Amino acid sequence: LFFSGNRVPAGAEPAAHCYCGHQFGSFAGQLGDGAAMYLGEVLGPRGQRWEIQLKGAGITPFSRQADGRKVLRSSIREFLCSEAMFHLGIPTTRAGTCVTSDSRVVRDMFYDGNPKHERCTVVLRIASTFIRFGSFEIFKPPDEYTGRKGPSVDRNDIRIQMLDYVISTFYPEIQEAHSDNTVQRNAAFFKEITRRTARLVAEWQCVGFCHGVLNTDNMSIVGLTIDYGPFGFMDRYDPEHVCNGSDNTGRYAYNKQPEICKWNLGKLAEALVPELPLEISQRILEEEYDAEFEKHYLQKMRKKLGLIQLELEDDSKLVSELLETMHLTAGDFTNIFYLLSSFSVDIDPSKFEDFLEELTSQCASVEELKVVFKPQMDPRQLSMMLMLAQSNPQLFALIGTKANINKELERIEQLSKLQQLTADDLLSRNKRHWKEWLEKYRVRLQKEIESVGNADAWNTERAKVMNSNNPKYILRNYIAQNAIEAAENGDFSEVRNVLKLLEHPFQEAEGFQEVKEVAEEEGATAAAAVCSQETRSKQSYCSKPPLWASELCVT
- pLDDT tens, residue by residue, 74-122: 999 999 999 999 999 999 999 999 999 999 999 988 888 889 999 999 9
Mean pLDDT along residues 498-524: 67
- Cα 354 from Cα 270, distance rounded (Å): 56
How far is Cα of residue 468 from the mean position of the Cα atoms in its chain? Answer: 20
pLDDT value at 528 more than 80: no
pLDDT value at 526 more than 80: no
Let me know if residue 508 belongs to a domain.
Answer: no
- Quick one: 295 and 325 in the same domain? no
- Quick one: 199 and 281 in the same domain? yes
- Cα 304 from Cα 59, distance rounded (Å): 45
- Quick one: 289 and 347 in the same domain? no
**Residues near 206 by beta carbon (within 8 Å), at least 6 away in sequence:** 297, 300, 301, 304, 469
* Nearest to 93, CA basis, from 44, 122, 129, 132: 129
SS3 95: strand
Give the pLDDT band (50/70/90) at residue 397. confident
- Cα 55 from Cα 78, distance rounded (Å): 10
pLDDT (0 to 100) of residue 509: 58
Give the pLDDT band (50/70/90) at residue 127. very high
Let me know if residue 184 belongs to a domain.
Answer: yes
pTM of the entire predicted model:
0.93
- Quick one: 281 and 334 in the same domain? no
For residues 73, 74, 75, 76, the Cα torsion angle rounded to the nearest 10 degrees is 60
Let me know if residue 549 belongs to a domain.
Answer: no
For residues 125 and 55, the answer to whether their CB atoms sit within 8 Å is: yes
Give the pLDDT band (50/70/90) at residue 496. very high
pLDDT, one tens digit per residue, over 345-371 is: 998 998 999 999 999 999 999 999 999
The β-bridge relationship of strands 20-23 and 49-55 is unpaired
pLDDT (0 to 100) of residue 512: 56
The β-bridge relationship of strands 232-233 and 70-71 is unpaired
pLDDT (0 to 100) of residue 478: 96
Q: For a pLDDT cut of 70, what percent of the chain falls above it?
A: 94
Mean pLDDT along residues 493-509: 92
pLDDT value at 511 more than 90: no
Let me know if residue 218 belongs to a domain.
Answer: yes
Write the Ramachandran bin of 132: left for phi over 0, alpha for psi from -120 to 50, otherwise beta.
beta
* Nearest to 84, CA basis, from 231, 215, 195, 185: 231
- Quick one: 368 and 240 in the same domain? no
pLDDT (0 to 100) of residue 381: 86
pLDDT (0 to 100) of residue 536: 54
Torsion sign (Cα): 495, 498, 500, 502: negative
The one-character DSSP state at 74 is H
Mean pLDDT along residues 44-51: 91
- Quick one: 267 and 399 in the same domain? no
User: What average pLDDT is seen over the chain?
Assistant: 92
pLDDT value at 67 more than 60: yes
- Cα 484 from Cα 112, distance rounded (Å): 21
pLDDT (0 to 100) of residue 530: 44
- Quick one: 335 and 460 in the same domain? yes
- Quick one: 452 and 353 in the same domain? yes
Half-sphere exposure of 95 (CA within 13 A, CB side): 25
Torsion sign (Cα): 520, 524, 529, 531: positive
- Please return the burial class of 13, using the count of CB atoms within 10 Å of its CB with bins 0-12, 13-18 and 19+: exposed
- Cα 175 from Cα 171, distance rounded (Å): 7
pLDDT value at 522 more than 80: no
71 forms beta bridges with: 120
The domain in which residue 253 lies consists of 156-300
Which has the minimum average pLDDT: 75-79, 334-338, 523-527? Answer: 523-527
pLDDT value at 196 more than 50: yes
Let me know if residue 306 belongs to a domain.
Answer: no
- Cα 351 from Cα 269, distance rounded (Å): 55
Which has the minimum average pLDDT: 77-86, 184-193, 374-383? Answer: 374-383
For residues 389 and 399, the answer to whether their CB atoms sit within 8 Å is: no
- Quick one: 342 and 460 in the same domain? yes
* Nearest to 338, CA basis, from 225, 443, 445, 474: 474
pLDDT (0 to 100) of residue 532: 44
Domain boundary among 454, 470, 486: 470
pLDDT (0 to 100) of residue 324: 98
- Cα 73 from Cα 489, distance rounded (Å): 12
Beta strands in 72-129 (DSSP E): 94-107, 116-127
- Quick one: 262 and 377 in the same domain? no
Domain boundary among 427, 442, 470: 470
pLDDT value at 527 more than 90: no
Neighbours of 385 (CB within 10 A): 19
Domain boundary among 268, 300, 332: 300
pLDDT value at 422 more than 80: yes
Let me know if residue 10 belongs to a domain.
Answer: no
SS3 167: helix
Q: Which residues are catalytic?
A: 217
220 forms beta bridges with: 132
Mean pLDDT along residues 533-545: 70
- Quick one: 296 and 325 in the same domain? no
- Quick one: 336 and 283 in the same domain? no
Let me know if residue 414 belongs to a domain.
Answer: yes
pLDDT value at 525 more than 50: no
pLDDT, one tens digit per residue, over 141-160 is: 999 999 999 999 999 999 99
Which has the minimum average pLDDT: 283-287, 390-394, 474-478? Answer: 390-394
For residues 388 and 395, the answer to whether their CB atoms sit within 8 Å is: yes
Beta strands in 409-456 (DSSP E): none
Domain count of the chain? 2
Let me know if residue 436 belongs to a domain.
Answer: yes
pLDDT (0 to 100) of residue 515: 53
Q: How far apart are the first and last CA of the chain?
A: 30
- Cα 227 from Cα 250, distance rounded (Å): 19
Mean pLDDT along residues 131-143: 98
